[in-house]
Amino acid sequence: MQFLRYNGYMFSASPGFKIAAVFLALFLALIPVNSVFGDFFQWSVLGNILVFPADTGALADPFPILPSIGASLSLQIWGPIRAELTEDIYFTYYEYNSRLGYPTAGNQENRSALVIGFITAVQITGHFTLNDRGTALRIYAGPAADLRAVVLSPGLNFPGDFNNDDIEINPQLQTDAIRDYFWSGSRWFMPVAGVGMDFPINENFLFGFDLRAWFPVYKINSEENLPAIDGWRFGAGLRITPRSSK
């Protein structure tokens, strides 16, 4: 697809850099909060690698493996049970694949849309302290939503393509089709389950890891004949949690 050439690599890096800077500023500003509230309130910063597997063969570009940045807030409900809100943010490119009839991840030379995903989850977490040092096991599950902002990808400098009525050529038509697809059929709803551990690195911080999976439950009532792996999400990541002094 020669009409989609990349112009302006720095744009793709700039949004991620700005969001990382915001999270760093919030992290530094909120460090004392956990000490004030003790075990009742906890917050963490998250960094993850997300995998969106897809079985498209030679009909599409390889499925995306993406970095993301995020945060979590949790409140103690009873004993080891906590209610937790998590937010993960990612960026990637998509094209509307007319051969398959649905959007697929696209490399820079094939892209039409920039997708900014806000994966928001509200989950119940079992938080089990394993020793006096503060090592803990976390097991959690709950509803989650991938709230995707789909915008025309920057740097598509072929004005004539936007006047073409062929969706294979017109990037605006592709972007609109991608947005309609992601926001229809409850494709945004993806419950999550995961497990993680936290380890004390000093008196002030815990260092942890998470392994998560998001389930494409929308496929249960879908009439699409999609490969079994399509729609699943997997994540592996790290987290830093300020420790309570109480």
- Per-residue HEC secondary structure of the chain comes to CCCCCCCCHHHHHHHHHHHHHHHHHHHHHHCCHHHHHHHHEEEEEEEEEEECCCCCHHHCCCCCEEEEEEEEEEEEEECCEEEEEEEEEEEEEEEEECCCCEEEECCHHHCCEEEEEEEEEEEEEEEEECCCCCCEEEEEEECEEEEEEEEECCCCCCHHHHHCCCCCCCHHHHHHHHHHHHCCCCCCECCEEEEEEEEECCCCEEEEEEEEEECCHHHHHCCCCCCCCCCCEEEEEEEEEECCCC
What's the predicted TM-score (pTM) here? 0.82
* Percent of the chain's residues with pLDDT above 70: 80
Least confident range of 41-45, 173-177, 207-211, 213-217: 41-45
| Residues 209 and 236 sit within 8 Å (Cβ to Cβ) | yes
> For position 11, what pLDDT does the model report?
36
Does residue 206 sit within a domain? Answer: yes
Q: Average pLDDT for residues 224-236, to the nearest whole number?
A: 93
Does residue 196 sit within a domain? Answer: yes
> For position 32, what pLDDT does the model report?
55
At residue 154, does pLDDT exceed 80? yes
Would you tell me how many other CB atoms lie within 10 Å of the CB of residue 32? 10
At residue 159, does pLDDT exceed 90? no
Does residue 151 sit within a domain? Answer: yes
Does residue 3 sit within a domain? Answer: no
At residue 92, does pLDDT exceed 50? yes
Output the domain CATH number for residue 106: 2.40.160.20
Q: Average pLDDT for residues 114-120, to the nearest whole number?
A: 96
> For position 135, what pLDDT does the model report?
93
Does residue 179 sit within a domain? Answer: yes
At residue 230, does pLDDT exceed 50? yes
Q: Give 15's pLDDT tier (boundaries 50, 70, 90).
A: low
* Percent of the chain's residues with pLDDT above 90: 60
Indicate the number of domains in the chain.
Answer: 1
At residue 2, does pLDDT exceed 60? no
Would you tell me how many other CB atoms lie within 10 Å of the CB of residue 8? 11
Least confident range of 84-93, 123-132, 161-170, 222-231: 161-170
Written in H, E and C, the secondary structure of 45-82 is: EEEEEEECCCCCHHHCCCCCEEEEEEEEEEEEEECCEE
Does residue 201 sit within a domain? Answer: yes
- CB-based contacts of 37, cutoff 8 Å, min separation 6: 244
> For position 225, what pLDDT does the model report?
86
Does residue 1 sit within a domain? Answer: no
> For position 179, what pLDDT does the model report?
97
Q: Average pLDDT for residues 171-188, to the nearest whole number?
A: 94
Q: Give 3's pLDDT tier (boundaries 50, 70, 90).
A: very low
User: Which residues share a beta bridge with 49?
Assistant: 67, 236
> For position 5, what pLDDT does the model report?
33
> For position 203, what pLDDT does the model report?
84
Least confident range of 20-34, 54-68, 118-132: 20-34
> For position 146, what pLDDT does the model report?
97
- Residue 55, domain extent: 9-242
> For position 39, what pLDDT does the model report?
63
Q: Which residue has the higher pLDDT, 86 or 22?
A: 86
Does residue 2 sit within a domain? Answer: no
